[in-house]
Structure 1
Amino acid sequence: MRDDGRMDVDVDGSLGRRLTRLVQNHDQDTAPLHQGVHSLRETTPILTCPAKLNIVIHVVGSRGDVQPFVALGCELQQQHGHRVRIATHAVFEDFVRKSGLEFYPIGGDPADLMAYIVKNPGLIPSIASVRAGDIGRKRKMLAKILEGCWSSCYMRDEKTQRPFVADAIIANPPSFGHVHCAQAMGIPVHVMFTMPWTSTRAFAHPLANLKYSSDTSPRIANLMSYGVVEWMTWQGIGDLVNKWRKSLDLEPVPSSEGPLLLETLEVPHTYCWSPALVPRPADWPKHIDVCGFFFRNPPSYKPPPDLSAFLEAGPPPVYIGFGSIVIEDPEALTDTILEAVRMTGLRALVSRGWSKLGQGRDSDDTVFYLSDCPHEWLFDHVAAVVHHGGAGTTACGLSKGVPSFLVPFFGDQPFWGIMVAASGAGPGPIPYQSLTALGLARAITKCLAPETRLAAKEVADKMNTEYGVRAAVQSFHAQLPMDMKCDVLKNEAAAWTLQESSTTIKLSKRAVSVLMRQTMFKPNKLSHYQSKPIIIDPKRWEPVSAVVSASLHTAGAMGRAAAGVVSEPYQVYKSNKAFPTAATAKNNPENLEKAPIDSPPTANSPDHVSIEQHPGLAGATADQDDSKNRTKQVVKASARNAGKLLFSPVKGIILDIPLAAVEGMWNLPRLQGDTGYQHTAVTDWKTGGSVAAKSFIHGIHEGMTDIFIKTYAGKKKEGAKGVAKGLSMGFVNLTMKTGAGTLGLIAYPCQGVYKSIHAAMHTRARKAIEQAKLEEGEWLVENQLDNGVEVEDIVRRFLTVTPGKGKGKA
């Protein structure tokens, strides 16, 4: 790990060389995988959204991370009629609500988070942080953020108490809960971010520092860096995510799928940076887009008199500020800044920021210490900007045509420093740890050079022709499912399905509320509607590794259950002992709030004695109840793990291992370019049986005919040599496909039955969502937010409705 938070990836190591060869086997180094593929936005005519949606936007980070999404939310709400909720840290509530958007707190302290990241910029924390207990606190913070992200999808507004159930999710990757919340609700998710998070050969992951020799293709090294960083990240958060998924009634994400889950599920991504600065890589598939920076409408701002006086007293100053970065020694950095300003002989605006630079010092004719001030206004009045390299500040400076010098601290900031320098709009970045007064003075001087100012103006001219927020909204709309709208109220999102004989009708929350009041159908006919189901299954390469992997997973599950028979009851026992009993609380009144609530003997009990007359007896009785309750919890924890220990091998032998073998056998021919049968997802016992039958038919048919088809195709292409190749491929397909079809008669129905049982036994999350939908529908009707449609008209439309057809993209 490097001091700037990036990770050294040595591609020339023994493991790196093996992985490189593996990737190169599937790579044409001169022809990208998706060469020339345009994004869906670029190939889709401009359109409106199929329905007015409730959109929740999950954002974790600093104000610079939140601000672009506020701009996006305003565009979605004001120009397209969506209802938008920003779910982020509580400290940004006023900022969000004053913009006219709804807000939901997800927990986490961004100042604390920034201080930790500056202290530990890498993926691996320092020993000092481990000793200080920082890791445990940050894991608790992440667990709270995950819970907050889920609650923001369906809980009422904490301030207005207005119900809200999300129809779609937009999120930045550090929120981590996005795709899991979307899976639990069955709604689309769209990731938007200010730094690359999708594998490409064009450039390395911003958090990776590649090391390789001339023998290694730089493009292959770039591609590998994304998987390495994602794998490292998953090692730190995977257990927390899977533990949290249980509360959403979701099964754990397999360790093989967790690191690159967004890519394998083909979750749409929109990157909010200027293509004039970083063009969209040619090897990105069509669901990955680059739209431009997100700029909000400039806020009205009147500068205080002392700031106006300083700006008018001389030539434009240099802006120096590090925003939400929390620095350990702000005094030393302030001294460095002042010395650099003295060397250049220029005037400077120094933003105090979250680190409170210049604390206790007063402004003078040369240096003005600045409080909060919108960059959109300020950067029109400066000669250059010196900052930490946050995407928002970088975008604002470049859009104003002002030369920029970046002092990166961690994360994507070095990436943006390199990109700015490559454009000529500023000198090369200097990491904060290496910053000196002389280096800062030289960088400022370089910013004011005529060629740098000209390059900055050229970048600004290109950026000013882009409309990032508008393009991002179009990208979001272009990748929504078409069948999101209600069959009765066409401009509202479907939330329910109504099954009547052989007809399925999609209904919005408001439509259901009105129709139920008119007793048009029974409530048990309604089902939770999923506009975008997400299914996460392990991807298998071939049968041998698939069976080994499934066997190891089963063995691991048994080992964890066996250990849990002892460890989990002990943890329960320890956690219960941490709470005082009622008797202890009575003797120590300050602990009373921590004591368990106990019920006294009933008045009808033959042994009933007045608690008021004998308070000591109350404490003794409560202690007995505490002991019984603790024992019950301990026994329950042990029994739960014992059940897992018995169930794990049964599930592994009957379901997991046969299913892995089947999927491996189906996939082996695909590795050689075979485009044969691919089954649909198994979601319940019905689809399990259907997939088993189709898999058997296709497996037998393709297995028997491929031996002739492959041989003939080989002869036509390569003659006698091709005959040998085609014959061998045909025999492989015969073995694999017929075996998969036969074994699938057992594996797929078992998978379907298991999923049906799991869905029947885990209903808490779904019931919570359904209840929230009913409450929102009632609220909409009671508050007469009915877009002018009368009750009689809704009933008439319902009686004459033609159900929507099929699924697809808008």
Structure 2
Amino acid sequence: MKGDQKSIHSDSTLSEDFESDSLPPPRYDQIYHASHDPETVEPGVEGPYHVRGDGRVDIDFNSSVIRAFAKCFPSAPDEDSQPAPPAYDTKRPFDPDTAPKLKWTIKLNILIQAVGSRGDIQPFIALGTELQRYGHRVRLATHDMFAAFVRKAGLEFYPIGGDPASLMAYMVKNPSLMPSIKTIMSGEIGRKRQMVAEMLSGCWNSCVQPDQLSGEPFVADAIIANPPSFAHVHCAQALGIPVHLMFTMPWTSTRSFPHPLANLTNVDESHAAANYMSYHVVELMTWQGLGDVINDWRETIELEPINFMDGPALAQMLKVPFTYCFSPGLVPKPKDWPEYVDVCGFFFRDAPAYSPEPGLVDFLAAGPPPVYIGFGSIVLDDPAKMLSTILGAVRASGVRAIISKGWSDLDGDASENIYYIGDCPHEWLFPRVAAVVHHGGAGTTACGLRNGRPTLVCPFFGDQPFWGHMIANAGAGPDPLPPRYMTVDTLAASIRFLMRRETALAAEVIAERIDREQGVQAAVTSFHKHLPLETMQCDLIPDQPAVWAIKSGRTQIKISKLAAEIAISQRSSLQKDLKIHKTKPMIIEPVRWDPVSGSTSAFMATTMDIGGCLTGMVTEPIKAYRDEKRRQDKSALSETSTETAQVAESSASIDTAASTKSRGKEPSAGSKAALAGAKSIGWLAPKAIKGMTVDIPLAMAEGFRTAPKLFGDEVRDHGKVTGAASGFTVGGKTFACGLYDGIAGLGIQPYKDYKKSGAVGIATGLGKGLAGLVTKPGAAIVGAWAYPTAGIAKSVRSAMYDKSRKLVETQRAAEGQWLAEQQRWTGSQVIALMEKFNELVSKKK
């Protein structure tokens, strides 16, 4: 941006557009190509991708690296294979009064995991409040500093750690996905990774730990999360429960437009394929920075590590439901997004009670509506310089302004035309201003557009440029003005553009569209729609979720926490029959495309594991020694503080002999270091044996099994290997079907292709048959060994690693006892429940 406003329409065009708001919103692919400014692409950049200063990524699709990556990721689905997305309804896209009611009677423990600034958390408060209206118990797990904000809204809160102010400061200094050399040298990368590790651990605790204030037990039955919380899919896998992602910007691969953080260069052939691929590249860059942190944390909750190539596409591979909380009036749902992806509209909370300070009321009444200027949770590098630029632009444009201090404390001397505010709800303030200037956070953007306020976005990183371009191309504001281009002149020109009548009319059109949408209600409907109702419902108490199962004959009875507690109180022998019931089992296996690459990657992984054990002889003792010394120092400091406080309160003697004796029994830092080294060596043989006898043969078998996909043939799905029994079942099916399909394919494939393509199909079918004659029997032979051994390995691992499972069992039992105490069933209710249980047992035998 150099001061000119390339997206400004002529006055006549604007007038024609505003005479009718019945037109559907423009497709984002049209908006993107119209707003993409080739002048902003940095020249002279070499390599497969280049991260720019504004956080966007230039991806060179002519590079050999990107071309190689393109072969490793899933290809874009055919648009015709997806159901057509709903057309934008110009009357009311979602009307809760007339929309068919989705019956949902199960009362769930819903955990919302959200990471980010206040603007990122606020939409989930609105969502949680709406979920409570369905009778759900809702816990919002986020940063510690938002405890009062969450609890004041009537939701349960659980702290996950992490400092959003520190994260914001880091992102402002490093708006791209890749950090600067200065940041690496300063140690900020290590601190950020440590913070992510802390939040991952906090997210897992939020799933299973009691409320920290009331002590009420809580185990999640379903998870809703924004993608940056990172723990969502993994927590859901450990618990065996559904997970649903919600986000404010496009994060699902589509051929319609590229990833909002990507600029595509050297796209010689299909723009659609390049658009689709851009999402995988951005995800890959994110995963390569945090994948090891996530895998280390997965080990603490006894989950196996995720393959490097599978991590970026995990949600897409597992078909995790996704709800986008932006307006379909701005970004309609692309045709190739699957049915489990919904675009529902912005999330708005109920306006909070607010009593403005008298000075603010007087300022608003003293003249024409002012312009709001604020950057919320952004931590600026040079607040004084930014404030000087803002004040100069306000004077040059001749407007009055309200300046929000925000996390950067933009504070100065008030005057006739300038007023400074602290924390003030946007829901109250924005209807009283003429226009808004902000950083482009999704929540702030939504509130401004909802109130029909012309908007200037000054983007720093993330999805902020995306929203700035969307607003500019709708005519409701000028082009985004990044802070690095902000001067008194450029900001003044942008503010003058905000004050034009045409800009105000465009903003009003958007406000009318948003007013017709009910984003929160639509998102709740989307969430309920994608839940596995049949597997979640308790067979004894229909309005409660099943978490336990009792096997009866060949089937099982699904039981809730309360039902189990009541049944056990009447028949204690049932305790030993209870098994964890997974309402949404999730099995993550490495994707294999062919036997060569599959076995090679498995061999490399095994080699790295062995190498890790050897280097761990040195690194693990050092790490263990450092961690233990740090823990002892903290413990000593804590004890000193406690003893000092006790002495200050009374003159009673303090006997510390017991605590000293207790400390003496603990292993020293040197002992723990030696134990860590021995443990690393002890893992050398097991990892080598597992790699050679399980991982490599399994990768080869899966490669043989899936290889026919490469030449357009169909592949049988024999199920997942979850234990020894299923391993033998899958191995047997693979052996029998592989031999049969390989031989029979020589005749069947030419016939099938002949019916599709005529005489030409005979040749192609024969080629498929010959290829299948190698791959399918190959899968049969290798799979006969690989799948049973993989199943046995999983059963052994499950028996050895049961700490997380036992934790879940203990917490669910505790919640069942608590529910029984809270509800206090009558004798007749207990008798009725047991009669129903006995009836189900007799039916299913």
Both structures adopt the same fold (TM-score exceeding 0.5): yes
Equivalent position of 1:171 in the other structure: 225
Q: Amino acid of the residue matched to residue 111 of structure 2? A: V
Equivalent position of 2:776 in the other structure: 737
Are 1:691 and 2:730 an aligned pair? yes
Q: Amino acid of the residue matched to residue 517 of structure 1? A: S
Identify if the C-alpha distance between structure 1 residues 673 and 661 changes in structure 2 by more than 3 Å, giving closer, same or farther: same
- Encode CA deviations 1:252-294: one digit per residue, 9 max, x unaligned: 1111211111111111110100010111111111111110000
Structure 1: stretches of 5+ with no match in the other structure: 596-611, 806-810
Q: Amino acid of the residue matched to residue 66 of structure 1? A: I
Equivalent position of 1:68 in the other structure: 123
Identify if the C-alpha distance between structure 1 residues 775 and 569 changes in structure 2 by more than 3 Å, giving closer, same or farther: same
- Encode CA deviations 1:446-486: one digit per residue, 9 max, x unaligned: 11212211111111111111100011001100111122011
Equivalent position of 2:311 in the other structure: 258
Select 1:137's aligned residue among 160, 185, 191. Answer: 191
Is contact 1:506–1:803 with CA below 8 Å preserved after alignment?
no
Secondary structure of residue in 2 paired with 1:283 = coil
1:125 Cα offset (Å)? 1.6
**What are the within-5 Å matches in structure 2 for residues 5-20 of structure 1?**
5-17=55-67
CA distance in 2, matches of 1:326, 1:147: 26
Equivalent position of 2:540 in the other structure: 488
Identify if the C-alpha distance between structure 1 residues 477 and 644 changes in structure 2 by more than 3 Å, giving closer, same or farther: same
Are 1:401 and 2:452 an aligned pair? yes
Secondary structure of residue in 1 paired with 2:176 = coil
Secondary structure of residue in 1 paired with 2:102 = coil
1:634 Cα offset (Å)? 3.3
Is contact 1:500–1:525 with CA below 8 Å preserved after alignment?
no
Equivalent position of 2:528 in the other structure: 477
Equivalent position of 2:513 in the other structure: 462
Is contact 2:244–2:527 with CA below 8 Å preserved after alignment?
yes
Are 1:528 and 2:580 an aligned pair? yes
Is contact 1:238–1:258 with CA below 8 Å preserved after alignment?
yes
CA distance in 1, matches of 2:346, 2:842: 40
Equivalent position of 1:434 in the other structure: 485
Are 1:378 and 2:433 an aligned pair? no
Secondary structure of residue in 1 paired with 2:207 = coil
Secondary structure of residue in 2 paired with 1:259 = helix
Moved more, 44-53 or 549-558: 44-53
1:578 Cα offset (Å)? 5.7
Select 2:169's aligned residue among 115, 125, 138. Answer: 115
Select 1:652's aligned residue among 682, 691, 714. Answer: 691
1:64 Cα offset (Å)? 0.3
Is contact 1:50–1:484 with CA below 8 Å preserved after alignment?
no
Equivalent position of 1:607 in the other structure: none
Secondary structure of residue in 2 paired with 1:294 = coil
Equivalent position of 1:636 in the other structure: 675
- Encode CA deviations 1:629-651: one digit per residue, 9 max, x unaligned: 44543343223222322122221
1:193 Cα offset (Å)? 0.6
1:329 Cα offset (Å)? 1.2
Equivalent position of 1:770 in the other structure: 809
Identify if the C-alpha distance between structure 1 residues 779 and 220 changes in structure 2 by more than 3 Å, giving closer, same or farther: same
Q: Amino acid of the residue matched to residue 88 of structure 1? A: T
Is contact 1:414–1:429 with CA below 8 Å preserved after alignment?
yes
Select 2:615's aligned residue among 539, 563, 567. Answer: 563
1:528 Cα offset (Å)? 1.0
1:784 Cα offset (Å)? 2.3
Select 1:321's aligned residue among 340, 349, 374. Answer: 374
CA distance in 2, matches of 1:373, 1:59: 22
Secondary structure of residue in 2 paired with 1:499 = strand
Moved more, 115-124 or 397-406: 115-124
Is contact 2:713–2:768 with CA below 8 Å preserved after alignment?
no
CA distance in 1, matches of 2:55, 2:239: 35
**What are the within-5 Å matches in structure 2 for residues 302-321 of structure 1?**
302-321=355-374
Q: Amino acid of the residue matched to residue 829 of structure 2? A: E
- Encode CA deviations 1:212-239: one digit per residue, 9 max, x unaligned: 35x3433232222211111111111111
Structure 2: stretches of 5+ with no match in the other structure: 1-50, 88-92, 643-653
Equivalent position of 2:273 in the other structure: 220
1:692 Cα offset (Å)? 1.2
Is contact 1:487–1:802 with CA below 8 Å preserved after alignment?
no
Secondary structure of residue in 2 paired with 1:190 = strand
CA distance in 2, matches of 1:92, 1:785: 35
TM-score by length of 1: 0.90
CA RMSD of aligned residues (A): 2.9
Secondary structure of residue in 1 paired with 2:342 = strand
Equivalent position of 1:367 in the other structure: 418
Is contact 1:679–1:695 with CA below 8 Å preserved after alignment?
yes
Identify if the C-alpha distance between structure 1 residues 707 and 789 changes in structure 2 by more than 3 Å, giving closer, same or farther: farther
Is contact 1:481–1:532 with CA below 8 Å preserved after alignment?
yes
Identify if the C-alpha distance between structure 1 residues 198 and 374 changes in structure 2 by more than 3 Å, giving closer, same or farther: same
Identify if the C-alpha distance between structure 1 residues 788 and 465 changes in structure 2 by more than 3 Å, giving closer, same or farther: farther
Are 1:56 and 2:111 an aligned pair? yes
Secondary structure of residue in 2 paired with 1:284 = coil
CA distance in 1, matches of 2:77, 2:160: 45
Equivalent position of 1:514 in the other structure: 566
Are 1:392 and 2:443 an aligned pair? yes
Equivalent position of 1:231 in the other structure: 284
Identify if the C-alpha distance between structure 1 residues 12 and 320 changes in structure 2 by more than 3 Å, giving closer, same or farther: same
1:411 Cα offset (Å)? 0.6
Moved more, 783-792 or 498-507: 783-792
Identify if the C-alpha distance between structure 1 residues 91 and 418 changes in structure 2 by more than 3 Å, giving closer, same or farther: same
Equivalent position of 2:597 in the other structure: 545
1:426 Cα offset (Å)? 0.9
Identify if the C-alpha distance between structure 1 residues 280 and 785 changes in structure 2 by more than 3 Å, giving closer, same or farther: farther
Is contact 1:505–1:803 with CA below 8 Å preserved after alignment?
no
Q: Amino acid of the residue matched to residue 332 of structure 1? A: K
Moved more, 362-371 or 1-10: 1-10
Equivalent position of 1:780 in the other structure: 819
Identify if the C-alpha distance between structure 1 residues 645 and 252 changes in structure 2 by more than 3 Å, giving closer, same or farther: same
Equivalent position of 2:474 in the other structure: 423
TM-score by length of 2: 0.87
Q: Amino acid of the residue matched to residue 801 of structure 1? A: L
CA distance in 2, matches of 1:236, 1:296: 34
Is contact 2:697–2:786 with CA below 8 Å preserved after alignment?
yes
Q: Amino acid of the residue matched to residue 441 of structure 1? A: A
Is contact 1:703–1:738 with CA below 8 Å preserved after alignment?
yes
Secondary structure of residue in 2 paired with 1:534 = coil
Select 1:88's aligned residue among 117, 142, 148. Answer: 142
Are 1:754 and 2:793 an aligned pair? yes
Q: Amino acid of the residue matched to residue 250 of structure 1? A: L
Q: Amino acid of the residue matched to residue 742 of structure 1? A: I
Is contact 1:565–1:639 with CA below 8 Å preserved after alignment?
yes
CA distance in 2, matches of 1:16, 1:266: 24
Identify if the C-alpha distance between structure 1 residues 681 and 594 changes in structure 2 by more than 3 Å, giving closer, same or farther: farther
1:18 Cα offset (Å)? 5.3
CA distance in 2, matches of 1:247, 1:547: 27
Equivalent position of 2:34 in the other structure: none
Equivalent position of 1:269 in the other structure: 322
Identity %: 49
Is contact 1:4–1:409 with CA below 8 Å preserved after alignment?
yes
Secondary structure of residue in 2 paired with 1:800 = helix
Q: Amino acid of the residue matched to residue 343 of structure 2? A: V
Is contact 1:20–1:220 with CA below 8 Å preserved after alignment?
no
Secondary structure of residue in 2 paired with 1:464 = helix
- Encode CA deviations 1:700-752: one digit per residue, 9 max, x unaligned: 22222111111123344445543222112111112211221222111111011
Is contact 2:449–2:511 with CA below 8 Å preserved after alignment?
yes
Secondary structure of residue in 1 paired with 2:359 = helix
1:405 Cα offset (Å)? 0.6
1:804 Cα offset (Å)? 11
Q: Amino acid of the residue matched to residue 129 of structure 1? A: T
Equivalent position of 2:650 in the other structure: none
Equivalent position of 1:599 in the other structure: none
